[in-house]
Chains A and B, each alone.
Chain A
């Protein structure tokens, strides 16, 4: 991955963060909904992570790795 792509993605992140607005506590109802969670269905996420871990070379990202398995 070239340095230009990294800088591009970092710039995108910076743009997103710069567009943040002050959100009062009483304005957070939609953010608190279950379907807005990072993992809306933990068992589904765990199963998908396990399948992709065993069928693709990539893993990791938003959590530390768990235990290994003979599948990979």
Chain B
């Protein structure tokens, strides 16, 4: 049904009888309004392989040991199938293999600046496998869905589920979605005995979200959503020499998305903004945009830009203080520092009938100088990475 309406410019030229068909189907299949307000009519199998490679550290940042950071290969698989007239099935499977070194602790270098000491001369090797199965039931003006997932690593296991529903109203111009998810995670660090790490810990996460989507005019739509996540349990990093965090965290996020189609350019513009705050004391702003430029009916180029900035956690320190009592919260994790990050990428999409091929490359650079927040303690070892992905999708 969606294919009939894929070219908006052609829609106005179709005959009256076809218009009636289009009228009834368009209202049911508006990805710009709701994430999934009509069951799929085809089976679609998708696969994407990606390589993620972090830049090596400099000898100034890490005076000793290995300078190599994470190099990760990611395989993603997805199957979306119709089940009967009103249901769909979705299966997602992911596999990651990683190697490289991770920050172990921080100290002061000879020049008085913080330096990082990486974990182990031989680095880390790990694998992650994940599978998630979900289903969605479609009603006349909404849908209900759920999924169940399992993720396993050498030192981590998560079991999770999610439930969500959405309802359209206002002549299908407005949609409200509501969802809940829960995850139960177990942590069992490797070499716990050798490095005096915790042997087994757990944590739980509960999350709810509420979103509102609205069609503004025939060319643009807007979505606003809030989510609240509660985490409890072991939230520290067991691989760091000194990392003590609170055992509860509440996260709040408010995201906004805008889509606009430019007829003359035959392109769609995506603009997203998110505000985030948690009770570790971290706030952040994220904004990204992308331009989906069509060429003829079978080729698309999508350049994208993203800016992110966060403040530091209340207990972040850029140099570990081992004289502090263990009852005092402390972490030198660079992800809890104040920094900014710029990233940009480009995707090339070829539509080959039943096949779609996508090639994406992306560059990400984090730096305290990019921060929109005040930086009182700059972290060392902020990440820069390249990513290349190649994906295929087949519909039948």
Contact = CB atoms under 8 A, between A and B. Distances in A.
* Chains A and B belong together in one complex: yes
Interface of A: 1, 9, 13, 16-17, 19-23, 25-44, 46-47, 51-52, 55-72
B52 interface: yes
Contact of A66 (B10, B32, B132, B251): B132
25 contacts: A13-B256, A29-B8, A29-B26, A30-B219, A31-B261, A32-B5, A33-B6, A33-B7, A33-B8, A33-B268, A35-B292, A36-B32, A36-B261, A38-B257, A40-B268, A41-B347, A55-B383, A57-B280, A65-B207, A65-B227, A67-B150, A68-B205, A69-B151, A69-B153, A69-B158
Nearest to A10: B224
B183 interface: yes
A40 B254 CA distance: 20
Given A20-B217, A72-B335, A34 B31 contact: yes
Contacts of B151: 67-69
Contact of A44 (B48, B155, B383): B48
Given A31-B261, A35-B294, A68-B158, A16 B216 contact: yes
Interface of B: 2, 5-12, 19, 22-24, 26-27, 29-33, 35, 46, 48, 50, 52, 74, 76, 78, 92, 126, 128, 130, 132, 149-151, 153, 155-156, 158-160, 162, 164, 171-173, 179-181, 183, 185, 187, 203, 205, 207-209, 211, 213-219, 221-225, 227-229, 251-259, 261, 263, 267-268, 270, 274-278, 280, 282-284, 286, 292, 294, 300, 302, 308, 310, 313, 335-336, 341, 347, 358, 360, 364, 366, 383, 385, 387, 389, 391
A19 B172 CA distance: 17
B32 to A, nearest CB: 4
Nearest to A17: B214
- Chain B interface main SS type: strand
Given A21-B216, A47-B74, A66 B128 contact: no
Given A20-B215, A37-B31, A61 B284 contact: no
Given A23-B217, A32-B31, A43 B253 contact: no
Contacts of A27: 218
A28 B284 contact: no
